[in-house]
Each structure stands twice: as structure tokens, then as C-alpha cells.
Amino acid sequence: MARTTRSITMAGLAFGTVLAASPPAGAADHHVAVNGDNAAATGAAARPWGTIAAALQAAQSGDTLILHAGTYREPVRVLLPNITIQSADNEKAVIEWGFGEADSPDVCVHFDVDASNGTLRGLEIVGGYYCVKMETRWDWGGPDRNGVSNMLIEDCKLSGSGRDCIKITPQCNGVTIRRCEIFNSGQLYPPGTPSDNKNAEGIDVTGGNRVLVQDCYVHDTATTGIYFKGGAADCVVERTRVSRCGAAGILLGFDTSPEFFDTVANPEYYECVRGIVRNCIIEDTNYSGIGFYAARDALAANNTIINTAKIGHSPIYFGITFQDWVEEAGRPACKGVTILNNVVAQLESIAQPVVYVRYSAELGGLSGLDGMPLMSNNLYFTAGAAPRFGDARPGSPLTDADFDAWQMHIYGDAGSLVADPLLDDEGRPMAASPARDSGVTLEEVMDDFDGDARVAPYDIGADEFAATPAPTPTPIPTPTPTPTPTPPPTPIPTPTPTPTPTPTPTPPVARETPARDPAQPESVGAEIESISGGLCPATALATMALGLLGLCCSNARRAR
């Protein structure tokens, strides 16, 4: 059956061609061109603004800035809600700004706390301390601790940031990032800087809720590709390729200073709550492919993880969090984690185990996992050797164990396989792949990496070999404008008045944001765990009775 292939290059992103929602009543378009003249500009296409800053000063809530082709070398700060900044149809605009010194607050595109419901569309954004930052009131000291919310970044290319490409701060909720290419973070670090001294993710979500990363390509990041931490809840990354990361690929949780947690909603200090990673391809990372740190009720389903954990950790990894060693912090172990239908393929000679649970005796003992994960219908492969598994917790030690011992150890992973997945160069299963029709059907996973509908029984991994292509949505046709009638003697017909939608209320203009950058630790050195700290030798666990496998359920899936 023919499959629809989703491009992972920017050639597949349509600049300025996405259908936008209807603007509020009275909304205006402000054209901007690199050869525009601010002194003579009206914002019309024939008399465009010369800078984005001038257009923003003239704009009102609900307006759209239309940037014509060219490079705009200026920082952009959006203060009003409901502002859209986009490339003109069939043109590509570039916003570029330097990232300054190591402590520079410069941001290429900065959405202030009152700039909710903003949109970036079809743009290339280069540089800045962050390419894009969503601002918060979290640490201002007032009763309102919310951040800018309900934001959309689509069909954009973001690269060359000093630190993170996209920075989402506490209580910046409802952010969607889709069909974007995100790469080359951490450019402020001098060449040769050790990885443990860098902290520059592709997407850093600290304390933001309901963040959706969809159909993106994140690659060549200084540290982790994407993480949700600091109590981030109900965040999803799906149908996304993450490649060549200096640290991990995708993390549900990590290590956050305690002051950035909402302890009313999350008194236990879980780093990530109800996070989901599905239909993703993660490849070529130095540390874990998918990692869980103080994650509660997390789901990793139908992902393909290739050649990860090259330096340390494991392709599927349960890490620990220190939360600044502060006494009142929770530092909980992961709990309620579900891992189904994933391919783990170490096609290169990589020494790490394919699944590992970390433990540290520090701070009275820290475990990467509470209880056992719900695992089923995964496929494991390591080139030239059998896959190995490990659990460093004192109460359930398992060192350098084979797959049978792992199944008995967790009372699970039934329906899982040890076999060469036979993937092509893009990480998709070939016709003879044992991943085909070997997965379980999940309500949480209805499509595959390309957005095509899955066919039961599901394939293991991100791509469904015989998926049904998703129907192409019918575009809404643009009405043909009615020509202006000829003056008398032919009378001019009276046009039917168009109902005016209720305008969106305009919140007050935001005050200046403090220069301090919340939720950004000084370096990742305290966060990246040394593999030597997690994989000390120990005696292998005696083989449990094979009959315990009867407790497993091959069709296990959690109710969500």
C-alpha cells in the first residue's frame, strides 16, 4: 500500500502558505520590507514599514505583520496579544540577531507576558540568546504567576541560538510548535567546550503545560533535543525526528531548581506529569534516546530509537534528579511509566545496555523508578551482541542481564522481541521486518510518523509499513472578488453588509520584563549524569521462575 512520505527538510515546509484562522474584526495587515521607509510608511503593500519594530509600534491587538523576502537584522519584542508575524505568500523572511556574550539577555523573537495568542508562521529565525522565548511572571513576586500562553509557531526554521532555540518558561501554557526545523543550538560556547559544560536545548520547556511539538525535525543540538521539566504537565511530542544531539534525544523530566515548581498542583516535585512521546524517530545521541526523570504517568509508544547512548546512559533510561540538593525538594522516582511498541536498534557497536534504571546513594538514596514499568511489544537489537538490561536499585539489582532475565525481573515486556528490525536508511521498517504486525493496538496512537492511519495489528516503531494515507484536507477556496460596477447610467448595486465578529478584548500593554532568566541553570554539568555513576558492576540476579511470565499481558496498555 502506498504511503505518504513526510519530508524532514525545510524544502517540505511551505513558507507563507498555511491557511490562517480568521483575524478579529477590524484587524489590519502591516506590510514590512527591507527596503521600506518608516517615515513614509502606511503599512500598505505599496508603502511598507522598513523595520519590524516600527510595524509593531503601529500594530494593535489582532493585527498581522506580513514580512516580505529579505533579512531583518533586529531583535523583535511583542507586547500585545493576538499578534501574527509571518512571511508573505511564497516569500521567505529571515529575522536575525546576535546572541551577545554568555550572559546577554538578547532574544531574537521575544513574546512578553501579555502577548498571548501570538503566532509565528513561515519565518526563518536565526541567532539570539534564544531564537524564541516565551516570557513569564512566575518570579516577579506578585499573585499573578502566569506566562504568555496559547502560542503557535508553525512552518518555521530556527537555528544558531546562543543557548536554547526555543525557551518556554513556567506557566507558559498551550504552546504548539509544528512543522518546524530546529537546529544548531548553543553557538555561544567556544569550540572545544566539553558537553557537560553546555546547556543549550533545541526546545526547553520548564514548567509549561500542554505544550505540543508535532511534525518537527530537531537536530544537531549542543545538548538535548527536547525536554519537558520543572513540573511540565500534559506535554506531547509526536511525529518528530530528533537527530545528532550532544546530550539526550527526548526527555520527559530532567533536573530543575525547586523554586520553579507549582507545589500546589505538584507537591511531590515531579519533573514531568502525563508526558507523551509517540511516533518519533530518535537517532545518534550521546546519551539516552528517550529518558524519564521524576516522570509521573508517562507514555512512550511507537517510537524508533537508533544508535543512541553512545557515551552513556541507555536508549531507554530512568534517571534521577537532584533538584539543587535543596532539602525540601521531592526528587521522586519515576512512577506509572508505560513503554509499548518501541524499536531500540543499536546498529553500531555501542556498549551501553538498552534499558537501564539508575540509583544513587546520595541524599539518602535516589531511585530512577518506583516499582516496575509497564512494558510490552518492544523490539530490541544490538549489533554483534545480545541486548543487555540493568537495574541498579538495591532492592532489585540486575546487572548486564539478558532479555529473559529482564522479562522475569519486571514481570513484563511480554510480546517483545530480540531481532534485527531491518530498517531502511530513514528508520522505517522494510518488507521483511519483524516489527511488522507485532505491536499492540493503542487508543493513544492512531496514526504513524507520517500522520497516516495505522492498521491493526500495529507495527512496532514509528512508521506503519502498510499505513493508510491520511486524506488530504480540501483547501478553503478564496472567494473571487466582485468587480466594481461601472458608474451610471448603470446603477451600483448595494452590497450585502458582512456581519462584524465580536472583537477580542485587548489586555493592557505589558510592563518591561526583568532581565533575569528563570529556570535556566548555569550549566548542564550538574545535570548530565556520568555513566560510571550508574553502571557499577554487581552480581547478576539469579534467574526467576519462567512461570512468572504468565503474569504478563501481551495486550497491556494503560487507561489514560
Q: Note whether 179 and 450 are within 8 A (CB).
A: no
Task: Tell whether the model's pLDDT for residue 226 goes beyond 80.
Answer: yes
Torsion of CA 63, 181, 148, 505, to 10 degrees: 20
Nearest to 426 by CA among 322, 515, 517, 345: 345
Q: CA-CA distance, 95 to 157, in Å (whole number)?
A: 10
CA distances from 445 to 239, 453, 490 (A): 11, 9, 61
pLDDT of amino acid 319: 99
Task: Tell whether the model's pLDDT for residue 558 goes beyond 90.
Answer: no
- Average pLDDT for 260-276: 97
pLDDT of amino acid 228: 99
543 compared with 309, residue with greater pLDDT: 309
Nearest to 237 by CA among 191, 162, 300: 300
- Average pLDDT for 217-238: 99
Q: How many CB atoms lie within 10 A of CB 74?
A: 14
Grid coordinates given for 236: 506531547
CA triplet 158, 163, 164: central angle to 5 degrees?
50
pLDDT of amino acid 381: 98
Burial class of 508 by CB neighbour count within 10 A (0 to 12, 13 to 18, 19+): exposed
Q: Is the pTM of this model over 0.85?
A: no
pLDDT of amino acid 196: 86
Work out the widest C-alpha separation in the chain, in whole angstroms: 101
Strand pairing class (217-221; 316-319):
unpaired
Radius of gyration over alpha carbons of the chain, in Å?
25
Give the DSSP letter string of 458-512. Answer: PPSSS--TTPBPPPPPPPPPPPPPPPPPPPTTSPPPPPPPPPPPPPPP-PPPPPP
Binning pLDDT at 50, 70 and 90, where does residue 115 land?
very high
CA distances from 330 to 129, 337, 356, 414, 533 (A): 31, 18, 22, 33, 21
List, in order, residues 6 or more apart from 411 with CB less than 8 Å away: 372, 548, 549, 551, 552
Give the DSSP letter string of 537-554. Answer: --PPPPPPPGGGGGG--T
Tens-digit pLDDT profile for residues 40-50: 999 999 999 99
Binning pLDDT at 50, 70 and 90, where does residue 471 land?
low
Q: CA-CA distance, 311 to 318, in Å (whole number)?
A: 16
φ/ψ of 39, rounded to 5, equals -65, -30
Nearest to 538 by CA among 371, 401, 388, 385: 401
pLDDT of amino acid 143: 87
Burial class of 212 by CB neighbour count within 10 A (0 to 12, 13 to 18, 19+): middle
Grid coordinates given for 506: 485587548
- Average pLDDT for 528-533: 39
Nearest to 449 by CA among 251, 249, 301, 243: 301
Q: What is the mean pLDDT of the chain?
A: 85
Q: From the DSSP assignment, how many helices (H) and strands (E) are in the chain?
A: 2, 41
Please tell me what DSSP assigns to residue 447: B
Strand pairing class (379-382; 417-418):
parallel
Torsion of CA 427, 431, 436, 442, to 10 degrees: 60
pLDDT of amino acid 470: 63
Lowest mean pLDDT among 187-191, 277-281, 343-347, 426-430: 187-191
Tens-digit pLDDT profile for residues 403-431: 999 999 999 999 999 999 999 999 999 99
Mark 416-440 as b/e (b = at least 16 C-beta within 10 Å). Answer: bbbebbbbeeebbbeeebbbbebbb
List, in order, residues 6 or more apart from 245 with CB less than 8 Å away: 202, 218, 219, 220, 221, 223, 224, 225, 284, 285, 286, 287
Nearest to 123 by CA among 98, 94, 160, 151: 94
Q: CA-CA distance, 469 to 291, in Å (whole number)?
A: 31
Binning pLDDT at 50, 70 and 90, where does residue 102 land?
low
Lowest mean pLDDT among 174-178, 522-526, 541-545: 541-545
- Average pLDDT for 239-254: 99
pLDDT of amino acid 332: 98
Q: CA-CA distance, 336 to 355, in Å (whole number)?
A: 16
SS3 state of residue 13: coil
Q: CA-CA distance, 177 to 35, in Å (whole number)?
A: 30
- Average pLDDT for 346-374: 97
Give the bridge partners for 385, in sequence order: 382
